[in-house]
Amino acid sequence: MNRIRLLSEQVANQIAAGEVIERPASVVKELVENSLDAQAGRVTVEIQAGGRSLVRVADDGQGMSRDDALLCLERHATSKIRRAEDLAAIATMGFRGEALPSIASVSRFTLTTRERQSDSPEGTQVVISGGKMLEVKAAGSAPGTTVDVRQLFFNLPARRKFLRTEPTESAHIQHYLTLAALAFPEVAFTFQKDGRSIWQLPAIKSGSDTPARLAALRERLRALYGGEQALLPVDFSAAIPPSEPAGEEPGSDLAPQTSDLRLWGFIGGPGVSRLTREDQHLFVNRRPVQNRGLNFALFEGYHTALMKGRYPVCCLFLEVDPAAVDVNIHPAKREVRFHQEGEVRRLVAQAVRETLLRLAQSPQSTVHGPQSEGGKEQTGGEGREVGKPGQASLPSFPAGLPPPPDPAQPARQPVLGMGFGPPQPAPGSPAPPPKEPRSTHLTSASRPLSTKVAQEPRPTQLASAASAPSPGVTPGAAVPLLKVPLRLLGVVARLYVVLESDRGLVLLDQHAAHERILYEQMLNRLERNDQAPSQRLLLPETVELSARDASFVREQLPVLGRLGVGLSEFGERTFLLDALPPFVKAADPRRFVLAMLDELKASGLEVNSLRLGEHTVAKTVCRHAVKARDPLAGPELEALVEDLRHCAMPYTCPHGRPTLIEMNFRELDKKFGRIA
Ligand code: ADP
Ligand code: MG
């Protein structure tokens, strides 16, 4: 008996819909992609009840003839590719030819379209319900295409049950639309939710060169998120070298070829981060994508400028030859695969790193948005958490006042949806509670710290990307913080150094700053291959470890030695500690070693390798060196600021926490209610 049969078109479409159409946001995505592929200049999206009752996408694009309007609803009907080879060079968002028939098979669907090119004022309307064609008629309409999708999954109750609440589904839709709007600033977007207008984004004229595109993107970001954004522009290009030298003879089609890679967009400054990837927007040839390699590349690029457990904030566009990337690996085209994943990853990390380092070198590299109107409601940032920079430490200024009763008092910062604003203080900040107000006898209280940096081309600034709690940028704030004279006022909680500039208040985290300085000195030394200075202990100590710890330590001995920690094997599980770097003023060297080990073990788990890299070990040694230090006195503090000016990445400690926070007078005035 024959038991195999071909599925009906309708069932086949519903199966395809299972992959392509997961939720209302998938419908919005497919329809908007079609509008963009049709060269629309304006896209209007309307949803009701989180897209469950209605998704309507209207565009002023090319439109379709009557024949095409019927054909586009067939499975595997597309105008975007013809041959299999075209798959290797896709320049459109769509190409699978399954979105429209899939959507139409699981909803009540109406397509109204009129060709832009045709003279006839008449368009075509096709009505389909659950995959069944109900009506095809001539209909008057403006040039372009409108698709109405009502009651998604009405014929698949099981799927409909899986939909989340209206706010959740709306949030997914809004997220996708944000991505589309960022990728296409030259297209006007309108978004309406339950009859309420959420966005009216005007089209932004843009040239094809990167500066023009950056300017357009910046304007779009502003329109979406409002307020100030302290972002660093990225503009990087490089050649992807050919992969393995293949065996083909030169000149053949298969011979390895270099192709160009361009990365442009914006990234958050050092210390700017979020708890989730939510504000990490990555595009490959204008397509929003998820790609683990790129995520890693970002982390690698930020390196020490990012706190553990946090994610970079970015809006980055990667452009590569379409032949160098495979977009057909995910039904919803969410993921891509690069043919030279490793190279792409390396170049992206390099681009990010160079951008961050450039911030330390050129004063004008941050972008300052317009002054935000404080308290103005910002659409697009609903319910997002925003850091409360400096909030925890500020109220204890001036020294001597009791700590604030409620550290959780609401921040009065306007909501910056992207988190593109302020850096956020580390959770569980290591600040010791102020036991007694420490009187600081600083003779230098009113003497400006050295300003000789003026002649120095070396890195020295902290643009507000790093410090900026600033909801508004004071005029002239583009001058890097470490380039303006700073006066030392005192120290709070034996940790936060209070400084004053002619722009306002500056707080410096003494530990974080010191850690950054030590770390960079250590790396410089490693780079020059110098032996780190090391001081012999008067009384060498032995440290006994568990068998597991002992074998772990054994792996790290060479690097520790190079960093000045004189630890050597002294028996099966015993080690001899006979020297330490001079900056380690550990009262109890043994405890120092044990504490360091614990942390090294923790990072060992993270990087999942037996022998830790020099950078990791150096980071840990610095951290523990700093913890063991005495409180600093006036001249030492000045030296600290001076040394910080010489760092390549002065704005964060090696673990990504901010070293400095600036509060300009405008913000202070606001907090005290002097200005609205
Ligand atoms: P794909 O986008 O992969 O080609 P779709 O099912 O999404 O497949 O669309 C099928 C075809 O219908 C497209 O190739 C395009 O020619 C046409 N089409 C769809 N939407 C529009 C639109 N908004 N404007 C003009 N043509 C459209
Ligand atoms: Mg499509």
**pLDDT tens digit sequence for 233-281:** 999 999 988 765 544 444 445 555 678 999 999 998 877 788 888 889 9
Copy the structure tokens of residue 174.
Answer: 């809004």
Please report the pLDDT score of residue 475 as a whole number. Answer: 33
Judge whether residue 428 has pLDDT over 70: no
- Whether 21 lines ligand 1, by a CB cut-off of 6 Å, is no
- Whether 105 lines ligand 1, by a CB cut-off of 6 Å, is no
Measured from the alpha carbon of residue 147, the closest ligand is 1
Lowest mean pLDDT: which of 95-99, 351-355, 415-419?
415-419
End-to-end CA distance of the chain: 83
- Nearest CA, atom 13, ligand 1: 78
Distance 37 CA to ligand 2 centre (A): 8
- Whether 73 lines ligand 1, by a CB cut-off of 6 Å, is no
Helices (H), 38-188: 66-71, 99-105, 157-162, 166-183
Copy the structure tokens of residue 460.
Answer: 């020295």
Question: What SS3 state is found at 335?
Answer: strand
Q: Return the ligand 1 atom nearest residue 30 CA.
A: 7
Question: What SS3 state is found at 569?
Answer: strand
- Whether 145 lines ligand 1, by a CB cut-off of 6 Å, is yes
Distance 327 CA to ligand 1 centre (A): 17
Please report the pLDDT score of residue 227 as a whole number. Answer: 62
**Residue 531 neighbours by CB distance under 10 Å:** 11
Kindly state the average pLDDT of the residues 412-441: 35
- Whether 79 lines ligand 1, by a CB cut-off of 6 Å, is yes
Judge whether residue 463 has pLDDT over 50: no
Which residue would you say has higher pLDDT here, 441 or 123?
A: 123
Tell me, what DSSP letter sits at residue 481? Answer: G
As a residue count, the chain comes to 676
Distance 34 CA to ligand 1 centre (A): 5
Lowest mean pLDDT: which of 3-7, 63-67, 69-73, 210-214?
3-7
Measured from the alpha carbon of residue 76, the closest ligand is 1
Q: Return the ligand 1 atom nearest residue 59 CA.
A: 23
Number of H helices, E strands in the chain: 16, 22
For residues 423 and 466, the answer to whether their CB atoms sit within 8 Å is yes
- Whether 288 lines ligand 1, by a CB cut-off of 6 Å, is no
Please report the pLDDT score of residue 38 as a whole number. Answer: 97
Please report the pLDDT score of residue 120 as a whole number. Answer: 85
Measured from the alpha carbon of residue 104, the closest ligand is 1
- Whether 64 lines ligand 1, by a CB cut-off of 6 Å, is yes
- Whether 97 lines ligand 1, by a CB cut-off of 6 Å, is yes
- Whether 230 lines ligand 1, by a CB cut-off of 6 Å, is no
Ligand 2 being an ion, which residues bring their Cβ within 5 A of it? 34, 94, 99
Report the distance separating Cα 87 and Cα 127, nearest Å. Answer: 31
Phi, psi (rounded to 5 degrees) for 245: -60, 105
Q: Which residues contact 93 (CB under 8 A, 6 or more apart)?
A: 33, 34, 36, 37, 286, 287, 333
Under the banding of pLDDT at 50, 70 and 90, the label for residue 298 is very high
Copy the structure tokens of residue 31.
Answer: 């329809």
> Amino acid identity, residue 157?
P
Query: pLDDT of 352-399, one tens digit each?
Result: 999 988 876 654 434 334 333 333 333 333 333 333 332 222 222 222
- Whether 291 lines ligand 1, by a CB cut-off of 6 Å, is no
Under the banding of pLDDT at 50, 70 and 90, the label for residue 19 is confident
Under the banding of pLDDT at 50, 70 and 90, the label for residue 605 is low
For residues 440 and 638, the answer to whether their CB atoms sit within 8 Å is no
Q: Return the ligand 1 atom nearest residue 35 CA.
A: 23
- Nearest CA, atom 27, ligand 1: 34
- Whether 30 lines ligand 1, by a CB cut-off of 6 Å, is yes
Query: pLDDT of 611-643, one tens digit each?
Result: 677 788 888 888 777 665 667 778 888 888 999
Q: Return the ligand 1 atom nearest residue 147 CA.
A: 23
Judge whether residue 74 has pLDDT over 70: yes
Question: What SS3 state is found at 381?
Answer: coil
Question: What SS3 state is found at 202?
Answer: coil
Measured from the alpha carbon of residue 59, the closest ligand is 1
Which of 21, 26, 32, 34 best tests ligand 1's pocket when mutated (most atoms within 8 Å of CB)?
34
R_g over Cα of the chain: 29
Please report the pLDDT score of residue 595 as a whole number. Answer: 82
Report the distance separating Cα 652 and Cα 649, nearest Å. Answer: 7
Please report the pLDDT score of residue 192 as a whole number. Answer: 97
- Whether 566 lines ligand 1, by a CB cut-off of 6 Å, is no
Which of 70, 72, 75 best tests ligand 1's pocket when mutated (most atoms within 8 Å of CB)?
72
- Whether 78 lines ligand 1, by a CB cut-off of 6 Å, is yes
Helices (H), 563-633: 589-607, 614-627
Residue that the structure tokens 């379709």 belong to? 64
Report the distance separating Cα 168 and Cα 25, nearest Å. Answer: 10
- Whether 654 lines ligand 1, by a CB cut-off of 6 Å, is no
**CA neighbor of 621 nearest in space, from 521, 550, 547, 509:** 521
Q: Return the ligand 1 atom nearest residue 144 CA.
A: 24
Report the distance separating Cα 434 and Cα 425, nearest Å. Answer: 18
Report the distance separating Cα 182 and Cα 265, nearest Å. Answer: 10
Which of 26, 78, 92, 187 best tests ligand 1's pocket when mutated (most atoms within 8 Å of CB)?
78
- Whether 374 lines ligand 1, by a CB cut-off of 6 Å, is no
Please report the pLDDT score of residue 281 as a whole number. Answer: 95
> Amino acid identity, residue 319?
E
Q: Return the ligand 1 atom nearest residue 77 CA.
A: 10
Distance 667 CA to ligand 1 centre (A): 51
Which of 20, 26, 68, 100 best tests ligand 1's pocket when mutated (most atoms within 8 Å of CB)?
100
- Whether 62 lines ligand 1, by a CB cut-off of 6 Å, is yes
Handedness of CA 76, 79, 82, 85 (dihedral sign): negative
What value does the mean pLDDT of the chain take?
A: 78
Q: Could you give the percent of the chain with pLDDT greater than 90?
A: 38
Please report the pLDDT score of residue 459 as a whole number. Answer: 29
Residue that the structure tokens 């798959």 belong to? 87
**Residue 353 neighbours by CB distance under 10 Å:** 17
Helices (H), 529-608: 547-562, 589-607
Distance 27 CA to ligand 2 centre (A): 10
Distance 35 CA to ligand 1 centre (A): 8
Q: Could you give the percent of the chain with pLDDT greater than 70?
A: 77
Measured from the alpha carbon of residue 79, the closest ligand is 1
CA distances from 18 to 14, 15, 26, 132, 153 (A): 6, 5, 11, 18, 10
- Whether 59 lines ligand 1, by a CB cut-off of 6 Å, is yes
Distance 206 CA to ligand 1 centre (A): 26
Sheet of strand 660-664: strand arrangement: 487-492, 496-501, 504-509, 660-664
- Nearest CA, atom 8, ligand 1: 97
Angle at alpha carbon of residue 188, lines to 186 and 193, rounded to 5°: 145
Distance 102 CA to ligand 1 centre (A): 12
Judge whether residue 434 has pLDDT over 60: no
- Whether 641 lines ligand 1, by a CB cut-off of 6 Å, is no
